[in-house]
Structure 1
Amino acid sequence: MSTQISVRLDDRLVAELDRLVTSGQATSRAQVVESALERELRRRLYERDAEIYRTQGEDPEVEEFLVWASSRPRPDLDD
């Protein structure tokens, strides 16, 4: 499900959206705006997590996983 909303954007941003769509780099204005919003929401989530780590210290389970993962052989992705 999706909800249509109205958003005011600077003419420069709209021109850039249109350039992306016209060049085929994006399927629609909405797709670009949605992608940017999702990226911003992820950034804020990561920022919140970083603040938790800064104030509460590292998670011991994550530390154990990192030690384990670093000891595993890495696959050769070029094959």
Structure 2
Amino acid sequence: MGNKLFSQVTALTGLPEELIGPELKGLLERKGVAPEQVTMESLREALADYLAQVSLQIEGEACFHELDTVNGIRQ
């Protein structure tokens, strides 16, 4: 599958290829997968890790915002 799958996924996001291509490539490389070797399973794992990271980041930001509100700090 490899490059064809990588190209399909970047196109299906609807985002500019110059934006999503490097981001997706980086996600895969952190999992030790080159874009030309990507499979559905490796893509699924990389995206699951990415979503977990984003979720934790958003959760952390929400906690800081909540603390600011409790302490009377407004942004």
Band the TM-score falls in, shorter-chain normalisation: 0.3 to 0.5
* Higher RCO structure, 1 or 2 (CA under 8 Å, sep 6+): 2
Q: Which structure has the bigger radius of gyration?
A: 1
Q: How high is the TM-score relative to the length of structure 2?
A: 0.47
